[in-house]
Amino acid sequence: MHLLQQRENMPFFFFKKLHVSKKSSNFAADYKSSPVMKNILHSLVLFCMIVAFAACDGVNKPSSDNSSRIENNIISVQRIWAEGYCAFTSLVRYNGRYYCSFREASAHLFDADGKAEGKARLLVSDNGTDWRSLALFAKEGMDLRDPKLSVMPDGRLMMLMGGSVYEERKLKNMFPQVTFSSDGEHFTDLQPVVIDSALCRDMEWIWRVTWFGGTGYGVSYGSAFALVKTTDGVHYELVTPLDVTERPNETSVQFLSDSTMLLMVRREGGDKRGWWGTARPPYTQWQWQEMDIPLGGPDFMILGDTLCIAGSRSLYATEKTMMFKGGLDGHLEEVCMLPSGGDDNSYTGMLVNGDELWVSYYSRHESPMAAIYLARMPLKWFTSPLTSKYHYKYW
């Protein structure tokens, strides 16, 4: 099992070792009567505390040199933002810098006054360690959710997000919003996307867009559940309705080099297990496979046309953010569990950086207010052959 650096574990380990070293009541008598024994024990405790907290500090401030993490099979986790209630991440590399987007509000949905008016925060970093806020997007009377980043074929950075309108705690409409940047510093004003009238203009949410061959593809859900496409990020044309049952919603899109499209679909009804879809151009005839697991905020990438790396919320014994690997048939097995909890977490963003996989996600395991985290782990964990040794080991 992989070594996971976590702040709460190290001090417990050292004090546990110290506790079991007390062999008998003679030790206690010697301790009380001998100043030398007192000094030795106090020095040992101090030494252990220094080593333990030094190790903990390394979790929050990961070294820019990843060689030690790779060699020692260590996950490094850094909290990169913790203002407000932060959730639903996306992660991308653009023009040599790293960008992380997410929703920022005072609660997961409604604030103390019963309003849902989330904003979209965008962070930027030159090295992946030191992050700063680049932009904060807001629209009066609208809850901006799940801002997803992508790089367009023309070189612009695009951020697409849901725009939900609530009245008296009831969802009345959804108008997806989009913004663009040509330099990664300055962004256009938010504007609503235009969805094919053959689908529906209102009550729709295009959760994520993936670009392939000059065209962006995404799945819209709300009043319908359908595959849509765009060439400019603003106007979306219906490709085909998707026949997925039991309240499908959040869907991630990826492609193989031969133009095969893959879909990973979250479902809220029935057994809640995800569905895995495959189709060839023009993407109107779909083959579906029920997955082994329920999904929450699913994201995935394909490496080498053979390997699937995925991130999702585990919905079994406890809600944790989990990383998976698998083939192209929708079957996944766990690789590691990220430090997470609080019954609200996941929604990963992912990118490969050299020999590492970087994963953004949110969690409230350290505070009632959810924060944004960046985890770095060896990519080799995911490229090794599939095994059933640790299959479902956390559930």
Return the structure tokens found at 100.
Answer: 């992380």
Asked if residues 81 and 102 have their Cβ atoms less than 8 Å apart, the reply is: yes
Q: What are 386's two structure tokens?
A: 């599939």
Residue spans of the chain under pLDDT 70? 1-72, 201, 315-317, 386-395
Q: Which of 338, 322, 329 is nearest to 391 (CA)?
A: 322
Q: Provide Rg for the chain, Cα atoms.
A: 23
Q: How far apart are CA 145 and CA 172, in angstroms?
A: 15
pLDDT on residue 117: 92
Half-sphere exposure of 178 (CA within 13 A, CB side): 24
For 112-127, letters b (16+ CB in 10 Å) and e give: eeebbbbbbbbbbbee
The residue whose two tokens read 């933002």 is: 81
In degrees and rounded to multiples of 5, residue 197 shows phi and psi of -65, -20
Do residues 150 and 180 lie in contact, with contact meaning Cβ atoms separated by under 8 Å? Answer: no
User: Can you give the pLDDT at residue 318?
Assistant: 73
| Alpha-carbon distance values, 112 to 107, 109, 115 (Å) | 8, 10, 7
Q: How far apart are CA 17 and CA 122, in angstroms?
A: 44
Instruction: State the Cα–Cα distance between residues 122 and 105, nearest whole angstrom.
Output: 13
What's the pLDDT tens digit per position in 206-257?
Answer: 999 999 999 999 999 998 999 999 999 999 999 999 999 999 999 999 999 9
Q: What is the pLDDT of residue 74?
A: 83
Distance CA 209, CA 102 (A): 16
How many angstroms separate the CA atoms of 247 and 279, rounded?
21
What local confidence, expressed as pLDDT, does residue 23 receive? 32
Burial of 84 (0-12, 13-18, 19+ CB in 10 A): middle
Return the pLDDT at 137: 98
DSSP 3-state assignment of 13? helix
Looking at residue 200, what is its pLDDT? 72
pTM flag (> 0.85) = no
Give the C-alpha separation, 59 to 220, whole Å. Answer: 38
For residues 104 and 119, the answer to whether their CB atoms sit within 8 Å is: yes
Which CATH number is 61-383's, of 3.40.190.10, 2.60.40.10, 2.120.10.10, 3.10.20.340?
A: 2.120.10.10
Residue 386 pLDDT: 61
